[in-house]
Structure 1
Amino acid sequence: MNCPRRLLYALYVTTSAGLAWTTALEFRHGPAWAGFLFAAASLVPLIAVIRESEMPHEPFIAYGVAAGAHEDVVRAELDGACCERWWTSCGTDHDTTCPHRIPRSSAA
């Protein structure tokens, strides 16, 4: 875990603790609805800590690609493209000169 992430976690926990203290004060000296509001608000930073701890540190780790290897994956996908029409039609059509062109059948 890097330093900015630790600082962010510390900020979340501190914010949650401050809201919990405000919750206790509201239940003692203020209206009950405000106490419930602060109690719910004190859970939000803790949920953020949980969600961020589950997030991958590198953007491509979520897709099963090691850090730094995403350029290779992109290059392989670009090299695997067969024709211009395939790219522009999201893979549904091919140019007439494309070797991967599959003739359309009228059979349903």
Structure 2
Amino acid sequence: MTRLARALCSLHGAVLAWLAYCAMQSARNGATWAVLLFAAASLMTVIAVIRETELTDERRTAAVRAERVARLRAHAEEDVAALARIELAAACCEPWWTSAGTDHDPACPNSQRSSAA
């Protein structure tokens, strides 16, 4: 939780305490409507604190998820590069590339494999 979120939750706690005090004073004076109003307002501060902590958890979860996706994407790019290196290392000769793997140069050691296939 950030400092600002902690400060906001502390402020909500202070408002909750003040509203509870106001509700008790209103109950002593017999103002039932004010007690209900202060109790409802107190409930809203509790909801605000819960919402703030859930938002913090969601932000943390989103940051972890984004980091994992970035890591997986980096590994996928490394895998593609490794596969390209393997394919380039397995390449035979210029005619093999230009003929999509059907013809070979006469000096290519793999020319006998393509004629047998």
Q: Structure 2 length normalisation: TM-score?
A: 0.50
- Give the superposition deviation at 1:5: 1.1
- Give the superposition deviation at 1:30: 4.0
Alignment match, 1:57 = 59
Which runs of structure 1 show a deviation greater than 6 angstroms over 4 or more consecutive aligned residues? none
Partner Cα separation in structure 2 for residue 36 and residue 47 of structure 1:
17
CA root-mean-square deviation: 2.7
Aligned length: 69
Q: How does 1:1-108 map to 2 (within 5 A)?
A: 1-55=1-55, 56-57=58-59, 61=62, 64-66=65-67, 69=70
Partner Cα separation in structure 2 for residue 30 and residue 21 of structure 1:
14
Structure 1 unaligned regions, length at least 5: 73-108
Asked which structure has the greater CA Rg, the reply is 2
Structure with the higher helix share, 1 or 2: 2
- Give per-residue Cα distances to partners, 1:42-81, cap 9 Å, x unaligned: 11011011011111235x818x4339x5xx8xxxxxxxxx
Percent of aligned positions with the same letter in both sequences? 40
* SS of match in other structure, 1:66: helix
In structure 2, give the amino acid aligned to 1:57: R
Structure 2 unaligned regions, length at least 5: 74-117
- Give the superposition deviation at 1:7: 0.5
